[in-house]
Amino acid sequence: MKKFDFKTMNFSDIPVFVKSLFDGDKNDNTMMTGQTGKYEVNLVPDVKLQMIKMQKMRNLVFFICIAVSIASVSTVAILGGIKGTQDLMISGQENHINKLSDKVTTYKELPDFLTIQDQLKKLSEINKNRPVLSRVFPILKNLFPTGADTITMSELNVNLETSTLNFDGQANAGEDPKIDYRVLESFKKSVNMMKYDFGRFVTASGDLIPTRCIRETDENGNLLSDNGNVYVIWKRGTTDCDPGRNDHATTQAEENKITDDKKVDSSVSNTNLNNGQIGQVGDKEGGEATKKTVAKVETVVPDEKIWRTPQFDIWSKGTEVKTSEDGVADDLKSSSETKTTTENGVETDTTTIKNVKNYVYKPSMDLKGKITGVPHFESECIKYSGQEVSTNEGNSIKWSAENNCKMVPEGTQITDSSNGRDANNNLVLRFTAVLAVDPVIFAYNTKHVMTIGPTGQNVTDSYQQIKGMFAAAAKDCRADDSECINTSTKQTNDTNKGNEGKK
């Protein structure tokens, strides 16, 4: 094996050194051999061969050590560079933070700013916990009977902290005997059956529609309905009322296009086309323009009907729905209007083109009640489900609804009752009742609340619905009023208990 001295080795000797490691080149080109006749005998002993192999192994180990050392040094150098770069970046950021901190600390109104910032963070929490008093109106509207039996209130106390209604009322059966506990019992049972609903209105793609963009009642405060199906009006064209539209973006196509023309001569030689737009046109003497035409294009988005009550048959079959046929602003058509004004001797014709934009939906409603492809109401209380049934006319779907939101979970508590006379001296049954209403109804984040009476009557919050619901307080029977004192009817145990102290 050829010997190498690392002290005298040159750079050009490295490839030779590597090659000799694997090839096992020998120092002598000839091998000691002896020839006897036609045979050649190898005179190198086995010990020499083993030595050569060991030298190869030694040189290989040296090479691997050198390679590992080089890699280790390179790795250390790279990591050192990274560490140095990180230290420089951290130092730069710390200097930047210190400069900003110095600026902030020199701000004299910093305490006030921090106080306001902390208060702003709490606004959402305050709104979330803020009760809404107007929710009392739909509750009261569905509380009392509207037939021959009447119940009016003389005093109402609302405790929003405990979500309780405490009121003094008077019941009139409308016929003899005027004092009839049946009216009070009917009232209690009706209250126990009352439900409510709330949720959110969403677009066809499921985006939330802002509450302020929804109109739920007519001018009299009654819910909008058609054949018992409740709907609302989506004021889609109002600014920021369509989640899928950016009302604050301006494009070149929406800008006004101005065409200036000469009073008489409109030949091509008197026009100036610049990048596809027509510029001002002067008269033949080279004067300024005497007439302009301004074209404005406006996109009009009409109000749109959204059904709160699902349209089961239409939606489950995927029937196409057009907003131009929903019965809301269907007569609104695209039009143009031209106005002429004169300013500084220049006559301007302004043409406003109004394009009405309607929508076409492809709704879908599966048997689990999930609705897609059309604006709709997502209820938090009512769950719809469908079941396929076979009839003589073929297969159809039978739909059902389940409402899990009870308005007065614990029912009505009558704390006092007695015979009396109202302000018109009519015999009435006066009583005091306490209702513990579900606090969810009064929560600010509970939107689009609708109370549902025992007969399915739907009511939303409008003060106009409680007109005529209040009356002057009834008075107990006088000691000399035998007719009032002696009038009695069948009473229930609960009512008797509340009445023992009064008769």
How far is Cα 461 from Cα 441, in angstroms, rounded to an integer? 11
Alpha helices in 176-268 (DSSP H): 181-192
Q: How many residues does the chain have?
A: 503
Residue 339 has pLDDT above 60, yes or no: yes
Pick left, alpha or beta for residue 448 (phi over 0 → left; psi -120 to 50 → alpha; otherwise beta): left
Mean pLDDT, the chain, as a whole number? 78
∠ CA(176), CA(177), CA(182), 5° rounding?
120
Give the range among 88-92, 118-122, 468-472 with minimum mean pLDDT.
468-472
- Smallest CA-to-CA distance from 156 within 138, 143, 169 is with 169
Per-residue pLDDT, averaged over 288-308, amounts to 84
How far is Cα 428 from Cα 183, in angstroms, rounded to an integer? 11
How far is Cα 223 from Cα 217, in angstroms, rounded to an integer? 4
Give the range among 5-19, 113-127, 426-440 with minimum mean pLDDT.
5-19
Task: Look at residue 271 in the predicted model and tell me its pLDDT.
Answer: 36
Q: What is the 3-state secondary structure (H, E, C) of 254-298?
A: HCCEEEEECCCCCCHHHCCEECCEECCCCCCCCCCCCEEEEEEEE
Per-residue pLDDT, averaged over 325-330, amounts to 86
Residue 268 has pLDDT above 70, yes or no: no
Residue 181 has pLDDT above 80, yes or no: no
How far is Cα 15 from Cα 379, in angstroms, rounded to an integer? 81
Say if pTM beats, i.e. exceeds, 0.85.
no
Alpha helices in 310-359 (DSSP H): 312-317
Whether 492 and 185 have beta carbons less than 8 Å apart is answered as: yes
Per-residue pLDDT, averaged over 390-403, amounts to 87
